Structure 1
Amino acid sequence: MAAVPPQQSLGKAAARGTGMTLATQAVRVLLQLCSVVLLARLLTPQDFGRIAMVVSVIGVADLLRDAGLSSAAVQAKTLSGAERTNLFWANLGLGVTAAAATAACEPLIVRGYGDPALGAIVFSLCGVFVISGANTQFRADLTRNLRFGSLALSDVGSQAAGIVVAIALAVAGAGFWAIVAQQVVSAVVQLSVNIWSTRWVPGWWQRGVPLRHFFRFGGGLLGTQAIYYATRNVDNVALGAYLGATELGIYSRAYQLLMMPLNMINAPMTNVALPVLSRVQHDDEVFASYLARVQLVACYLTATLFAVAAGVSEPLVTVLFGERWHEVAPIFAVLAVGGLFRAVSQIAYWIYLARGVPGAQFRLYLVTGPFVIAAILAGLPWGSIGVSIGHSIAYAALWVITLVHVGRVAKVESRPLLLNALRVMCMVSVPCGVGAWLGTLVPAPAFVQLVLGGCGALLALGGAWVLSRKVRSDTALVIGFARRAASR
């Protein structure tokens, strides 16, 4: 078994890893914003809607491509060279299978939506599953070894290449093909960079080296992810089938604006938190200490960000997308409320994986998944805004249920985590959101309203800091963590 680094060294690794990933995500957010702003002015809601129609259905195949094996490799106490090689071939085989299954479903997708143009999109995106399958264990190796600089190079480089190609094709009048090309190019560049970073060439399949325990771990995670995927995409499928590509295109812009900070912050934080928490999973005191610190960072950054975004939704959408996308603003504001709860619920996901109990999470999602889907579909008669309200209500309830459940099955005190998150949301996040909204009430151009909203949020944060000793100690901890993250 690999030796567990001393707590101080591991803490520094976690802080520096968080600093690296957050700095990387700042660059990625900037790139993504450029992409969103330019493509929204070059493409139509129908273009975005068609891509969303296809991706919301075939994206489930990407879960099959991974099968939870990347997290299983990261979480494993030891990983031999033979196991690593066999995992590579397993993921590559799963990627080929996912591509074949997607191609076979093309007639059903076209018939289900009633749009023949979707067929070419389906076939074009099949190859991404094969490329991503080959990339899975290269990326897992970088994550397992805490090589956050290499991951940063891969993520930023692939995203930048995809965005450049997409914008060039959109300017040339390629329509939705610009977004298709963006995904293909990003996958190819990311695989190439990760191969170069790991300097690892897989050998041939090693007979007699079982992967049963990896698939057992990954299987529970795969089931959970499949249910979670359904809850995240049922809105896109239902809106596309019920109201068409244009309405879905408007909703998808709001949803992308929601998911951009979630993906840009939570996914990299998982890359840091999972390997660190996995190494201290058997030391309950250290484990609880790390959980509390990571949760504070997530609450003060991500949850507060969503509250502020909801407050400034109207000028934010106008500045990013332009006046013709004004219908996105109220949808995004409602979705951002649900995003606040999705942000703070990430801590439960880390606990399930780090403690090695993904099967318990899967069993919970078998019960809660249908509830989330029903809540989202209940709003369908009221269009995109009704679906958004159902989405936010469902995720608020799911956060509480999941945190209580993970505390019981993983033997973690969930009550302090629940109360701390509520405290931060009530004392910091919500006041900042209200302050941001008040700033937008001033009659002024959209950009000025956005600046005033930001100032209102900062004033609310300053007020909380002055009035609450606990907020002052929290912010000192977060700032101290940030300084350690920036240290070399």
Structure 2
Amino acid sequence: MPTAINAKSVTRNVGWSILSKTSTFGLKFVTVPILARILTPEEFGAVAVALTVVQFLAMIGGAGLASALILQRDEDMKTIHSVFWANLAIACLMAVGLYVWAEPVAGLLGATEAAYLVRLMALLIPLQLAGDVAYALLARRMQFGKDAFWSMVSESAGAIAAVVLALAGFGVWALIAQLFLSAAIRLVGLFAVSRYVPALQMSIGRVVGLARFSLSMMGSEIANFVSFQSPMVVISRFLGLADAGAYSAANRFSSIPNQVVLSAVMGVLFPAFSSMMQDSARRSNALMLSTQVTTVLLAPMMFGLWALAEPAMLTLFGHQWAYAWPVLGLLALSKGILTPCSTFIPYLKGVGHGGTLFWWAILRAVITTAAVAFGAYNGTLVGAMIWLCAVNAFVLVGYSLVVFRADGTPFFRGFLTCCRPMFTAALMAIAVRLLLSYFGHLVPNAALQVVVGGVIGGAIYAALVLLTERPLLRKLVDLARKKRLPAASPSPAE
């Protein structure tokens, strides 16, 4: 049976996950700009397009079977082995198919010159799917600290290798080496800490049984993947690899805060919400608290990056990429708009609303792809990003309607509570942008503008949060005090 989940275990595992992401944040903060200064936009674009295909097939190949293992009552080893071999078989078939059809696939994406990368990166699919079962075992045992350690080691080793190879003149192969080295190290680490050893056991019936649950989950995951990755494909096809590279570099950098917070929180919240399925009061409290906290943390990062996009792009990426600063700013803005949605997907998955999540994910994927395609076809990369921001505003309202209805929370009360930190961050960013416009000439150095703007923005946001989020701050202080007290008996929240 999965490990019992309570407030203390959730907090501890979120902490471990955030620690691993934060530890790689500083490294990526340095390595992405370094790689961008050494490599060309076309090289970034070619790898990004090829990786999009690989990640999409890897998601389909897993078919959600590993996620279904997390929710199983017991660790039935025959079922676990069956899922491992099913995943591996599907992964190998997909890798062979992508290798054979690499040129038509690359041509379909508008990147014929990247066919050799698609063929090579097909080998990543088995590397990624082979570790799904080991990760699922750690997740059901709430042992995210072990996964966090190996994620940190693999990401760090890959990033360092990429920078070294790029400086040595290996060009696009530096990015390829980063992907393969990170995947291989994490795979070895997952098997080591989960203590899982595959055995030659296979039950088609058990795989089919899990697939019935996982198919709707997989459908929504694919739709969400299309929402996030379709802009890359659309831009490559309509605007070329150079613009795809500019989008990829800006997107990789603007996604770092999301990777630090959201990937950590979402992985833990899925099993946590699942354990609260029958307790509506705890579930609702957990939803509101987790959404508010993640929004308070993420919104100022994303809106602040929008405010400082121009000097930040020049400082971090250099003059080669200076033209793409509006892309960086608009991508940060589009992600900032969605910060209140950070907990909605694990919530809907965890409480059994997979069908609702699936249809909203489909709608989001269609609208996102169509809007970005319209902007790219009729304008420029900046136009496509403006349409992406507009779509994300619609998605925020739509997901909020769905989630608060499922939770039984009045829409306007829930929406205002969850989005208030985002509005606060937006006000802060507008103030910083105006100050930079009027007084930026007094600080002619771009790096110093980023520092000064960050300090001023942080002070403004802190003051606004103290004024608008007192109930949330009191709740967090109370939780911190309870954790310091000797545990005589577990509280109802635990």
Is this a same-fold pair by TM over 0.5? yes
Matched-pair contact (CA < 8 Å) for 2:37–2:320 = no
Aligned to 2:218: 222
Aligned to 1:34: 30
Distance 1:252 1:385, change over 3 A: same
Matched-pair contact (CA < 8 Å) for 2:300–2:461 = no
Aligned to 2:240: 244
Match of 1:389 among 386, 390, 398: 386
Distance 1:133 1:58, change over 3 A: closer
Aligned to 1:453: 453
Q: Distance in 2 between matches of 1:472 and 1:85?
A: 50
Bigger mean CA offset, 63-72 vs 275-284:
63-72
Aligned residue identity for 1:315: P
Distance 1:350 1:481, change over 3 A: farther
Match of 1:253 among 245, 249, 253: 249
Aligned to 1:417: 414
Question: SS at the partner of 1:154?
Answer: helix
Q: Spell out, residue by residue over 1:65-113, the C-alpha distance to the aligned partner (whole angstroms, 9 max, x if none).
A: 3222232222334442222222222221222132123223312134336
Match of 1:472 among 451, 460, 470: 470
CA shift at 1:267, angstroms? Answer: 1.2
Question: SS at the partner of 1:59?
Answer: helix
Q: Spell out, residue by residue over 1:240-298, the C-alpha distance to the aligned partner (whole angstroms, 9 max, x if none).
A: 12222112211221122222222232111112211222111211111111111111111
Aligned to 1:179: 175
CA shift at 1:399, angstroms? Answer: 1.7
Q: Distance in 2 between matches of 1:271 and 1:482?
A: 23
Aligned residue identity for 2:401: V
Question: SS at the partner of 2:380?
Answer: helix
Question: SS at the partner of 1:174?
Answer: coil
Match of 1:347 among 326, 343, 355: 343
Matched-pair contact (CA < 8 Å) for 1:12–1:484 = no
Match of 2:197 among 201, 207, 217: 201
Matched-pair contact (CA < 8 Å) for 2:288–2:418 = no
Aligned to 1:161: 157
Aligned to 2:321: 325
Q: Distance in 1 between matches of 2:106 and 2:229?
A: 17
Distance 1:295 1:481, change over 3 A: farther
Residues 38-57 of structure 1: pairs in structure 2 closer than 5 A:
38-57=34-53
Residue 126 of structure 2 corresponds to residue 130 of structure 1 = yes
Matched-pair contact (CA < 8 Å) for 1:351–1:410 = no
Distance 1:399 1:40, change over 3 A: same
CA shift at 1:128, angstroms? Answer: 1.0
Distance 1:208 1:136, change over 3 A: closer
Bigger mean CA offset, 184-193 vs 233-242:
233-242
Aligned residue identity for 1:393: A
Distance 1:70 1:42, change over 3 A: same
Q: Distance in 1 between matches of 2:485 and 2:430?
A: 34
CA shift at 1:209, angstroms? Answer: 5.5
Residue 302 of structure 2 corresponds to residue 301 of structure 1 = no
Distance 1:207 1:62, change over 3 A: closer
Aligned to 1:401: 398
Bigger mean CA offset, 13-22 vs 416-425:
416-425
- What is the TM-score with the length of structure 1 in the denominator? 0.92
Aligned residue identity for 1:447: A
Aligned to 2:463: 463
Residues 87-98 of structure 1: pairs in structure 2 closer than 5 A:
87-98=83-94
Aligned to 2:143: 147
Q: Distance in 1 between matches of 2:183 and 2:34?
A: 21
- What is the TM-score with the length of structure 2 in the denominator? 0.91
Distance 1:375 1:486, change over 3 A: farther
CA shift at 1:28, angstroms? Answer: 1.3
Aligned residue identity for 1:421: C
Bigger mean CA offset, 133-142 vs 51-60:
51-60
Match of 1:282 among 278, 290, 293: 278
Aligned to 1:192: 188
Matched-pair contact (CA < 8 Å) for 2:62–2:87 = yes
CA shift at 1:410, angstroms? Answer: 6.1
Question: SS at the partner of 2:200?
Answer: coil
Matched-pair contact (CA < 8 Å) for 1:217–1:356 = no
Q: CA RMSD in A?
A: 2.4
CA shift at 1:485, angstroms? Answer: 9.1
Match of 1:338 among 334, 337, 350: 334
Matched-pair contact (CA < 8 Å) for 1:110–1:116 = yes
CA shift at 1:114, angstroms? Answer: 6.3
Q: Distance in 2 between matches of 1:391 and 1:487?
A: 47
Bigger mean CA offset, 178-187 vs 407-416:
407-416
The answer for unaligned runs of 5 or more in structure 2 is: 487-494
Residues 19-30 of structure 1: pairs in structure 2 closer than 5 A:
19-30=15-26
Q: Distance in 2 between matches of 1:154 and 1:413?
A: 42
Matched-pair contact (CA < 8 Å) for 1:250–1:327 = no
Distance 1:452 1:96, change over 3 A: same
Q: Distance in 2 between matches of 1:36 and 1:117?
A: 23
Q: Distance in 1 between matches of 2:193 and 2:421?
A: 39
The answer for unaligned runs of 5 or more in structure 1 is: none
Aligned length in residues: 481
Matched-pair contact (CA < 8 Å) for 1:434–1:457 = no
Aligned residue identity for 1:429: A
Distance 1:459 1:211, change over 3 A: same
Question: SS at the partner of 1:82?
Answer: helix
Bigger mean CA offset, 203-212 vs 409-418:
409-418
Aligned to 2:490: none
Aligned residue identity for 2:226: A
Q: Distance in 1 between matches of 2:384 and 2:465?
A: 36
Distance 1:481 1:272, change over 3 A: farther
Q: Distance in 2 between matches of 1:486 and 1:301?
A: 23
CA shift at 1:439, angstroms? Answer: 4.9
Aligned residue identity for 2:379: W
